[in-house]
Every structure is written in structure tokens, then in C-alpha cells.
A = this chain, B = another copy of it.
Amino acid sequence: MRFVVGHKNPDTDSIVSSIVLAYFLDCYPAKLGKINPETEFVLRKFGVMEPETIESAKNKEIILVDHSERSQSLDDLDEGKLIAIIDHHKVGLTTSEPIIYYAKPVGSTATVIAELYFKKALDLIGGKNKELTPDLAGLLLSAILSDTVLFKSPTTTELDKEMAKKLAEIAGVKDIESLGLEILKAKSVVSKMEPEEIIKMDFKDFNFNGKKVGIGQVEIIDISEIEDKKKRIKELLEEKLKSEGYDLILFMITDIMKEGSEILVIGNKEMFEKAFNVKLENNSIFLPGVMSRKKQVVPPLERAYQ
């Protein structure tokens, strides 16, 4: 059996990419954990079922979407047969056999899939050029809006905007902006969530030069949504750092309206200061303009660890 699967702590782009790519490749979508409230909203809005959860790669053919880091993937990835990777992140793994690899530096994996569809080029990666249904077009559009934070993230490219427009036509979405705000609002449900859940919602592990580093992110529209929970979040992250052997944990509280992130820094403070060339007063700092973990946080940090 062949499965398309996104990363742990799945976000909307991971879930949507696995659903839509599985449709074109005639195989099964899968996920590695519970979907978040934003994804739940998107799936309900367009009337699509969530993928099944899988826990092992054993006896499976695996296609990875929206990640290429082993630490973010199935724990026993090597027990399965890796067929392909479709992604928009940096190259995060090596393989022992040739596979299909297709990645582009654009705002979302949904953008990559949408472009293949509109170019009738899905057969390049082993898919069929079938018709994209309005519900699946709505999912891809939502994933683009989510991953690019309504085109405000610095990872946004012209291709993301172009694909969003074309997808909106198929999906029958007249006002992209207002769909985007609906999605952001659904994402920004942290005021109703427990600190434990907030941390887990979008947390990714990295391996930088042998050191374990965790980077979490939460997007908010208004700082008041999270202000009274920050103390507890810090405590939980300090526990996590110790019990799970992290060298450093960063937690990005990204303010969509202010277009910047407050970074909570737990653990190897010096490495963070070196990477961002800043001096920490306490354990946190607001970095204006920083909204993308992938593009603005991971690269300087990885360089600092070298």
C-alpha cells in the first residue's frame, strides 16, 4: 500500500498536500498526528474527510510531502520504501537509493502541487492529470493562505499568488482575502487552548550538527490571546528541554498583524544570540519582520551551530 504523508504535528499544508496528492497519485493520504483547529475548520468548510493516522512505515510505500527532515517524519521511515518527496523546504535528508524528489522554494507545498496540476505535469512525478474538483481546489487555496499567512510571510512568491487566484476560480471562492481571515481566525484559537496544546500545535525537531533543537510556532492576531499563558508555556518548555534532551528550544509567537515574532528562548541562549546577533535581556525578544521559521529562523541557527 502506498501512502502520502506530511510531517508530525501536521499543519494545514501537510494535511491538504497529502489529501490532494494522494488523489492524483491514486493512493492513500495519511497523517502523523491530530489535526489542529485551523485544519479542522478548512476540512469542514470544503467538506473533505481527514486522512487516517499511520504510525509505522513498515510494509508501506511512502511519499513524503511538506517535509524532508527525518526528525519530523515517521520514526521508522527506513522500514518502509521511500518513493518520493514533494516539498518546499530545504533538503533535510539523504537517501540510499534514487527517489523522485521535487521541491521548489515557494510559500507552500500546495503551491508546488497546484503548479504541477495547471501545467498538466503531474505525470512527471508518477501521477495522473485528472480534473481538480472544487473541494480539493478549496483545500489547496486554504493551505497556500495558511502557509503564507495571507501572503504576508517573506516566503511568499508570485507563484503562490498566481496559484491562489486560479484555485479560487475552481473552488468558487470569490473573496480570497476574507477566506484567509476566516482561516487565520480559526488558527488563532489559542485563547481557548491550554498551554500544553499550544506548544504541541506546530512544533518541529531539528538536528543541527548533532544537537537536538526544537522550534515551535503559534500565530496570533492579538497579543492578548496568549499574554497570560506565556509564563506557563515557558515552564513547560523548560521541562521539555530537560526531559527530551534538547540543546535549545525556540518558541515563536508570531503576531500576524504586527508582522513580527516574539521568540521565547529556552536552553542554549548563547547560540541564539550568535545566530541572530542580538543580546537577550531576559528569555525572550521581539524580532520585527520575522514570521517564517523555515526561511528566517532555521538558516541562521543552522549556520551558528556549524
Contact = CB atoms under 8 A, between A and B. Distances in A.
Contacts of A286: none
A87 to B, nearest CB: 8
B96 A299 contact: yes
Interface in A80-135: 85, 87-105, 115-116, 119, 121, 123-124
Tell me how many chains of this kind the complex includes: 2
A95 to B, nearest CB: 4
A295 interface: yes
Contact of A105 (B94, B99, B123): B99
A193 B97 CA distance: 33
B295 A96 contact: no
Nearest to A103: B101
A45 interface: no
B100 A90 contact: no
Most buried by B among A89, A121, A123, A299: A121
A303 interface: yes
A98 to B, nearest CB: 4
Contact of A88 (B98, B121, B123): B98
Given A91-B93, A115-B124, A124-B121, A98 B294 contact: yes
Interface string A274-306: 000000000000000000001100110011000
A115 B91 CA distance: 23
A273 B101 CA distance: 32
A291 B176 CA distance: 54
A272 B74 CA distance: 30
5 contacts: A96-B302, A96-B303, A97-B105, A116-B124, A121-B121
Top 9 closest pairs, chain A to chain B, by CB: A98-B105, A101-B103, A91-B95, A121-B121, A90-B95, A96-B302, A101-B101, A90-B98, A91-B94
